[in-house]
Structure 1
Amino acid sequence: MPISSTLSARLGPGPAPSPSPSPAPARWSPYGRPTEPRGAKASRPALSLDPATARLLGPARKAPPGRRSSYAAEAPAPTRRRLAEEKSDQKTDPKPAVTNRKPNQEPRVRESCGGFAFLCALAGHTEAITGISMPTGSNKLYSGSADGTVRLWDSNTGKCVDIIKMGGKISCMITHDKWVLFGIPKSVEAWNIQTGKKLSLQGPSGLVCSMTIKDEMLFAGTGDGRIMAWEFPAKENNLGPVAILSGHERQVISLSVSATWLYSGSLDKTIRVWDLKTLQCVQTLSEHKAAVTSVLCWDQKLLSCSLDKTIKVWSASESGNLQVMHTHSEEHGLRTLFGMHRVGKTPVLFCSLHNSNCIRLFDLPSFDMRGKLSSKKEVKAIELAAGGLLFTGDGAGELKVWVWAPQNEVPQTPALT
């Protein structure tokens, strides 16, 4: 699922007809339409990367022969003719044709794919990456994996600076304010990156498969089909849930919230709609023919995807119940949905394919395909951070870093709440 569904972006109207660039996209709000943040700053000049991006990559480095650099995208390999010309130039002029780049000079990026340019890959995890987070105000990137570890990456160097063993498989991970939360077997572990405080929330009998937070209430979908609810932040450690929502027959692997509803997607092929005030199930959606793998709120609509190879768009009828308004079909099953707003333009939907190394990008509401991103294996974790940085984590344990870089649009820190 998209990480931290409680993060919401509020951006202004589209760019005015002037040479100044427009702001970068922001992650979807779980509900409501984007609005302009107060005190929004002007965009930086065109063709300039956000400082956080340059810090993440670090100074330009020359890779050893036969080895790919981990910090910047490589230029195409020189041909024999080019190599001969370079040797000839070196004989006549002992000075190098290009001087070393300054430490703060921005790295080159590869060709843009659907508006995103690949920056680098961070290797280290040995199994699937299940969660990614770069909390607001932090210079650390967090990644959680099924290998049972959390890796902390220094945004100034791009290096892994710490590896923390969690004592069990990490199946999901979200961010809330200054908290990073991890779902592991039989508990939710929460770290406050500002104070160092740690909480362990007890109650699940098995694996915690999904999480979301709304109005100081943490919801966690579990492997036995139940949804645990805790007050969060909890006043004490090792507290049990204040409520348990029952109804699903199999794992609850995706959760999303709107202003009044909690949506849960399950391997039992259904989506359940829960009233956030009463915590009662008010509707069960059974139109999918296979496991529901991801649910995502978009304005007043709900998006869902499934292993039945469809994405469904739901909207409330006159009676108030959700019904399918549109179905988009793919040739593969679908794994993860993630959304992004663009100022003055149509939203973008990311959709990773099941048992495939492809993430497809669609304009909404038309579902016109705008591009695709690739990985080694199926992608489960997608996260958008400050500066237009996009992170994707796949089943091989590879963490990729991308930057929003379409023509005439410059990355800018999105307003997050």
Structure 2
Amino acid sequence: MLSPDSAAIVRATLPVVGGSIQDISARFYEMMFADHPDLLRDLFNRGNQANGEQRSALAGSIAAFATILVQRPDERPDAMLSRIANKHASLGITPDQYEVVHKYLFAAIAEVLGDGVTPEVAAAWDEVYWLMANALITLEADLHRDSPVEGWLRATVLERRRETPDVVSFTLRPQIPLSFKPGQYVSVAVTLPDGARQIRQYSLSCAPGRDDWRITVKRVRGGDTPEGEVSNWLHADVQAGDELTVSAPFGDLTLPADGPPLLLASAGIGATPILSMVEHLAATGSTRRVTVVHADRSPADHAHRDELGQLVAALPGATLHRWYEEVGDCSCRPAPNVGQVDLTRIDLPDPLVAYLCGPLPFMRGVRTELLRRGVPASDIHYEVFGPDLWLGQS
């Protein structure tokens, strides 16, 4: 909780800081990478830096955290903090790196806002930063303490399988057997041809309870930009018998053991954590009522399409609803719908808990309809692949 004096200053300056936060974020990264090019080379996602998504995510998280501190001081944005902490833990972020971020972030604030940053304003926003940073440091320490391994480990590629023209799955055997929760992901660290070490997260697209893992990787066609460089490398260079450097499993979009009926909704490659959940439900003989919804461009683009259909069919309380922009001559059963997902055409149970994964427009549309139906916001959970541009809006 902010001190009363700082809360008053942050409340008064939030419109100015919030209105400039994108410029502040851009200048922050520019200065930090100029002095520490190794961070861009070996830690930060170069594709997300190139397209500006990381700047937007940082801006959204800071603005959302400050807004909650001054508007709802008795609350703490635990869902937002947990999401960030899990991502940081999977990347291997260390507490000392928060000092580096602080140095350049506050230099950027002073430069962008100029004389508006009085000592009192700087002190108030410093308090905001360290409240957020210390909360994340504590959460990340807890995650590492609960993890059975420290640092990175090696995993052997047992199988490479083409799922669609743009999607390949890799079955991995980590050097140490590790359990995970349905919906979690692992980081994969690769050394690219230019020597850079880049890290990406991939959901585990299988159920827990086995020695092997599976990740499913969609090729991101980024043209001449660095976007998609890791997925392209994995598609082009990794074969059965190779080894990958991976993290322990992390992620807070996980399926609880029991509870009310479920809505599991995905689009595109967002199917992967949902597939893990569905397989886990089938493997454990669940009788929960489960509504599975998936959207894709076409049946040929739907990774693990047949596998998902078989798993849902094995669940006595589950139904499957698929929407494809182009159906073609697909003989899928049940017959797919054409166009965009329309939840008004589905009889959903009340109450329910929803898990969403896919592009932001898809998740926003599903969430809006669920809220309209009276589903509490606290019962709608989501996973974003890449920087969380939804921070502060969920």
- TM-score, normalised to structure 1's length? 0.28
Report which of the two has the higher share of strand.
1
Report which of the two has the higher share of helix.
2
- TM-score, normalised to structure 2's length? 0.29
State the structure with bigger RCO (CA 8 A, min sep 6), 1 or 2. 1
